Chain A
Amino acid sequence: MTDPGAVFFQAMLVDNMPLTLFLGLCTFLALSRKPDIALGLGLAVTFVLGLTVPLNQVVYAALLAPGALAWAGSPDLDLSYLKLIAFIGVIAAVVQLIEMLLDRFFPAIHAAFGVFLPLLTVQCAILAGSLFMVERQMGLAESAVYGLGSGAGFALAVVMLAAIRARLAYADLPAGLRGLGIAFVLAGMMSLGFASFAQMAAQ
Chain B
Amino acid sequence: MIRGIWDRETVALILVAALAPVAVLWLAEARGAGAVRLVSFVLTIGILHLLFMLARAQPPSAAALVTALALAVFTPEGLGPVQLLLGIAFGVVTAELAFGGWGRNILNPATVALAFLGFGFPAAPWPDVAVQVGWAALPALAFGVLAGVMPGGVVAGAALALGAASALGLPLGPAVPALLAGLALLVCDPVASASTPLGRWLNGALFGGLAAAFLAGWDGAHPVQIVVSAALLAALAAPLLDEIAIALWLYRRRRRLG
For chain B, the bracket of interface size reads: 20 to 34
Those of B81-133 within 8 Å (CB) of chain A = 94-95, 98-101, 104-107, 112, 115-116, 119
Q: Are A168 and B106 in contact (CB under 8 A)?
A: yes
Those of B3-55 within 8 Å (CB) of chain A = none
Contact of A193 with B by CB under 8 A: yes
Q: Are B56 and A171 in contact (CB under 8 A)?
A: no
Q: Which residues of A contact B232 (CB under 8 A)?
A: 189, 192-193, 196
Q: Which residues of B contact A171 (CB under 8 A)?
A: 99-100, 104-106
Distance of A24 from chain B, by nearest CB (Å): 18
Contact of B198 with A by CB under 8 A: no
The 0/1 profile, CB within 8 Å of B marked 1, for residues 159-189 of chain A is 1100110111011111001000010011001
The 0/1 profile, CB within 8 Å of A marked 1, for residues 134-166 of chain B is 000000000000000000000000000000000
Given the known interface contacts A173-B99, A192-B119, the answer about A203 and B221 at a Cβ–Cβ threshold of 8 Å is yes
Q: Are A199 and B242 in contact (CB under 8 A)?
A: no
Q: Which residues of A contact B236 (CB under 8 A)?
A: 160, 164, 189-190, 193
Given the known interface contacts A166-B239, A168-B106, A203-B218, the answer about A189 and B99 at a Cβ–Cβ threshold of 8 Å is no
Contact of B176 with A by CB under 8 A: no
Distance of A197 from chain B, by nearest CB (Å): 9
Distance of B100 from chain A, by nearest CB (Å): 3
Contact of A1 with B by CB under 8 A: no
A-B contacts, CB under 8 A, total:
77
Nearest neighbor of A165 in chain B, beta-carbon distance = B239
Q: Which residues of B contact A203 (CB under 8 A)?
A: 218-221
Q: Which residues of B contact A185 (CB under 8 A)?
A: 94, 98
The 0/1 profile, CB within 8 Å of A marked 1, for residues 217-234 of chain B is 111110000000110110
Distance of B76 from chain A, by nearest CB (Å): 14
Distance of A81 from chain B, by nearest CB (Å): 38
Q: Are B237 and A167 in contact (CB under 8 A)?
A: no
Q: Which residues of A contact B221 (CB under 8 A)?
A: 199-200, 203
